[in-house]
Amino acid sequence: MTSAGTAPVEAVVFDMDGVLVESEELWDEARRALALERGLTWPEYAQREMMGMSSLEWSRYMRDRIGLEEPPERISTEVAERIEALYRRHLPLLDGAVEAVRRMAGSFRLGLASSSNRSIIDLVLELAGIVSEFEVTVSSEEVARGKPAPDVYLEVLRRMAVAPARAAAIEDSTSGILSAKAAGMLVLAFPSPVFPPRADALAAAGVVLGSLAELTPEIVLTF
């Protein structure tokens, strides 16, 4: 139950990669392939370091740290085009993702705060048939800083006119959890099994979910 003196949750904001779609490995493969095609070495730590970065941030990383010569905007576009092609062949929805979104939409206003490119966000929601469930969607390429900075979450809440204390975020990664927490939101963690969040990030979450089936209005309202 919501404790006395605490405003009830009005909005729930979903992350996308690792929460709705099982995509972190696909992004890693697409970026890795691009680097290898250029004859460059792909360090194993690269994907973890880029998680949560905006498209401009990680494309700059690939230029400055990995050694690609193309402008960051071109790097971002080429990787996104590869991901779009993969999604059109098969959208890797996580088990229960669509059901969880529709279940939460029955009780809360919904937003989405993602590090994916705008084109990818729109494609995923269209293919999954859940565009209409989200009142606001924001890509971190549309704000100054990517996760773990709070910018993308704060922008979603600004557009929704919802105070952070009356919003909950669903996140899977270290950068995402810390981003939502820095925004002043309640955080439900759905840990990525491939790139699990750090212990300190998990400790910042109010609830840790074992599956999307556990994401219910009731569990959000227990904060």
Could you give the 3-state DSSP secondary structure of residue 146? Answer: coil
Q: Where are the alpha helices (DSSP H) in 19-133?
A: 24-37, 46-50, 55-61, 72-89, 97-105, 118-128
Domains and CATH numbers, the chain: 11-22+92-220 (3.40.50.1000), 24-89 (1.10.150)
In this predicted structure, the answer to whether residue 3 has a pLDDT above a threshold of 50 is no
**Residues of the chain above pLDDT 90, percent:** 85
In this predicted structure, the answer to whether residue 2 has a pLDDT above a threshold of 80 is no
**What's the whole-number mean pLDDT along residues 154-166?**
98
How many C-beta atoms lie closer than 10 Å to residue 1's C-beta? 9
Whether the Cβ atoms of residue 147 and residue 176 lie closer than 8 Å to each other: yes
Q: How far is the C-alpha of 24 from the C-alpha of 219, rounded, in Å?
A: 26
**What's the whole-number mean pLDDT along residues 104-117?**
97
